């Protein structure tokens, strides 16, 4: 795993989302109940680096639902665990997009 990346991100087979699986709680799933990580690989995302023309920063982990949500909008967005996403304690993750 390259330096500056965080592992323990898993795919949820119920909601198809990417959620952090490194905490005791699986997190609230928008499809109901908790996220399910069965059959998922261990994914890594960048938590350090420079935002470029092929990347986007301001993605944050929500400590309530364990999901990854964009934090660059005026509202943090609705959280499946209730209320809005809570990004307290999150890294500023950088996602990379494929060139088109």
Give the angle 48-89-71 at the CA atoms, nearest 5°: 70
What are the pLDDT digits (tens) for 6-25?
889 999 999 999 999 999 98
Dihedral of CA 27/29/34/35: which sign? Answer: negative
At residue 50, φ and ψ (nearest 5 deg) are: -110, 135
What are the pLDDT digits (tens) for 74-92?
999 999 999 999 999 999 9
Give percent above pLDDT 90 in the chain. 68
d(Cα 28, Cα 24) in Å, to the nearest integer?
A: 12
Please say if the pLDDT value at position 1 is more than 60. no
d(Cα 99, Cα 53) in Å, to the nearest integer?
A: 10
């Amino acid at each position: 795993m390259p330096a500056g990346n965080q592992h323990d991100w898993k795919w949820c087979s119920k909601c198809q989302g990417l959620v952090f699986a490194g905490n005791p709680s699986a997190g609230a799933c928008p499809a109901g109940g908790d996220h399910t990580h069965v059959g998922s690989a261990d994914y890594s995302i960048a938590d350090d680096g420079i935002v470029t023309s092929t990347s986007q920063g301001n993605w944050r982990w929500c400590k309530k639902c364990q999901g990854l949500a964009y934090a660059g909008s005026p509202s943090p967005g609705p959280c499946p665990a209730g209320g809005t996403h809570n990004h307290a304690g999150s890294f500023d993750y950088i996602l990379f997009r494929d060139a088109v």
